[in-house]
Amino acid sequence: MSALYQSGFHGSFESQKETLINILLKNKSMHEVFETAEKHLKDYYVGAGFIFQTVWNYLSGFPLDYGIGDVDIVYFDREDLSIETEKELESQISETLKHLPFKIDVKNEARVHLWYEKKFGYPIAPYQSMEDAIDTWPTTASSIGVKKKEAGYEVYAPFGLEDLVEMVVRPNKTLITKEIYESKAVKWKNKWPKLTVIPWDV
């Protein structure tokens, strides 16, 4: 029986999203992160490692905080592209969550194109939304954003949830390079041995 069924991730996408949220909220740190992000940002997503690695830990039987280095919180404000505002928001959220064992990383996705080339060696076009940015994140399983709404939680997962739950690392070649992908895949495989890594060239 696949992990998809063992973990309760079968059924419709709406049902799968509900199961995802139930797993995420088993991580006590998750509640605080959502509440703090909601307090400081008009709109946001909590994404990347804090989401998919919590699920991998749950499926692997590891402590839910195992292997998580930072919490990625993204927002989108093209009216204020200053790094000062971005850093101030990061500082405020980090101060509130300073008791958690993670680094807090807050990024305005509207300004990523301003620094991307210097960091990664090639330019990118400006993102048009948070969802536009998530569409380019390095793997199918990591391209997930979650935010708290009045009526519950909203999940944005452009590639679905199957690879996440099956613990499959598959490249999303929209933006990253082979070298970046392979570096991440090796690092993750060392921490979560049950992962199945799909080669870049497949």
Read off the DSSP letter of residue 37: H
Question: Looking at this protein, which amino acid is placed at residue 36?
Answer: T
Give the model confidence (pLDDT) of 50-77 as tens digits: 999 999 999 999 999 999 999 999 999 9
Q: What is the pTM of this model?
A: 0.91
Tokens at 123, concatenated: 């330019």
The beta-strand segments (E) located in the chain are: 45-47, 70-75, 103-108, 145-149, 152-156, 168-169, 196-197
Q: Say if residue 147's pLDDT is above 60.
A: yes
6-42 pLDDT, tens digit per residue, is 555 666 788 889 999 999 999 989 999 999 999 999 9
Q: pLDDT > 90: what percent of the chain? A: 86
Q: Which residues lie below 8 Å from residue 16, measured CB to CB, with a gap of 6+? A: 9, 10, 160, 161, 165
Domain boundaries, the chain: 3-197
